[in-house]
Amino acid sequence: MTTDHGYPAVRMHIAGEWCQGGTGRTAPIVNPATEAPIGEVPLATAADLDRALAAAEEGFRRWRSTPIARRTEILHTAAALLTERAADIGRIMTLEQGKPLAEATGEARRVADTLRWHADDARRAYGRLIPSAPGTLLSVRREPVGVVAAFVPWNFPAGGPMRKISSALASGCSIVIKASEETPATAMELVRCFVDAGLPAGALNLVFGEPAEVSAHLIASPVTRLIAFTGSVPVGKLLAAEAGKVMKPSLMELGGHAPVIVCADADPVAAARKAAQAKFANAGQVCTSPSRFLVHASLVEEFTAEFVKVAEAVTVGDGLAEGTTMGPLANERRLAAMERLTADAVSRGAKVLTGGDRPDRPGYFFAPTVLTDVPPGAELMHEEPFGPLAPLVPFTDLDEALATANALPYGLAAYGFTRSAATAERLSAELEAGILSINHCGGSVHEAPSGGVKDSGYGREGGPEALDAYLVTKRVSHLLAP
């Protein structure tokens, strides 16, 4: 069933059934390009969450005992359905999140590959035999941790949920996932692919609700064995503390404030082009988005000119409109943050070279913005903008740039541009980040790990390391002769 906007009627998925929730409580879903409501999302009650947990507990018993070949077959079938339905899922994503249709459809296709990778990698979650005394078998086994409670934000409506769902199901766990109430239909359509692929009831449960209520309930439940969260640093710290109270392991993929160091020997035009394209992707609403641009003083003029050129070539508009290359921000909160951070920087002496305001039109739009002369004390240099703001700061000494890059408590992503192998190695060794890209600003890939250090969290998603949090390592010592 769809609304008049071509947007599906949103439902939760609990115990193998699509449902509205116990009380019928809902919240509006808004198209950020028009500010018009396009649907309603059901909000779970405590009874709904208990049903989801009970279903996940039973689903875990059923799913973990499913032979790995059959599990892999189901997950590959779901991936094929995702690929087949990518265009439709992309359109839904654009309606509720705002990103351009090409980006949204590409995201839907990529998550199918993420699922394929983890499905196959689970076949290689090997244990081992350890040489021991005669008559004794000493082994290490890898077993699914159990029921996972997962929480994801709105910026990647398909990518965020899939990283949790694919790792959990591939490992043999069951999962209760609370997707964002602002982008619920994309998550619903992902779940539908698993249901249609034959996933047993209860193995995957989708809920929505008041974030604080849902997280408190799921984390405290004795059924839950692992907490997996992607989101802001403050919320991540709160959830990690709650998990710690009940001795639950947690996986935390939190925010950052990614520095870009453009060294004296770099190509300033190529560096500016790549950095600017990455900055304005998804309107800057990416945890790993480059957000502090430290440019050697000898290159800053050329770098700035090219960066502004790219920013001014961005076509801002409705993600469904042909030619749009940057959509709106996701909500009014992000728009207010852009205005506040820009005003603060300007009040401290920064200059706006392009952008700096919102267009005179409906929707949560904010122009791609480039600022220079941004002082160290500006809020923009300390707070992750999570939007299309780019402060350009010159430096004269690499030691100085590294110190600035590492000065914040965050350490998710970092970027460097240099033509020197020795300098690249120094950046790799000294930048405090869990993800580093040299001479490009590429995003996460499913075959390699992503995650942060310091306040940006712990644990890894992607690559073989992605399954570590979802598997328990068990040592078995078997004395053959009693």
**Residues labelled catalytic:** 253, 287
Nearest residue to 266 via CA among 256, 278, 275, 257 = 275
Nearest residue to 188 via CA among 200, 201, 177, 197 = 177
Give yes or no for a contact between 114 and 127, defined as CB atoms under 8 angstroms apart.
no
Residues 6+ apart with CB under 8 A from 340: 379
Strand partners, 478: 137
Residues 6+ apart with CB under 8 A from 446: 110, 113, 114, 117, 118, 462, 463
Longest distance between any two alpha carbons in the chain, whole Å: 82
Q: CA of 448: how far to CAs of 76, 418, 455, 463, in Å? A: 20, 23, 21, 4
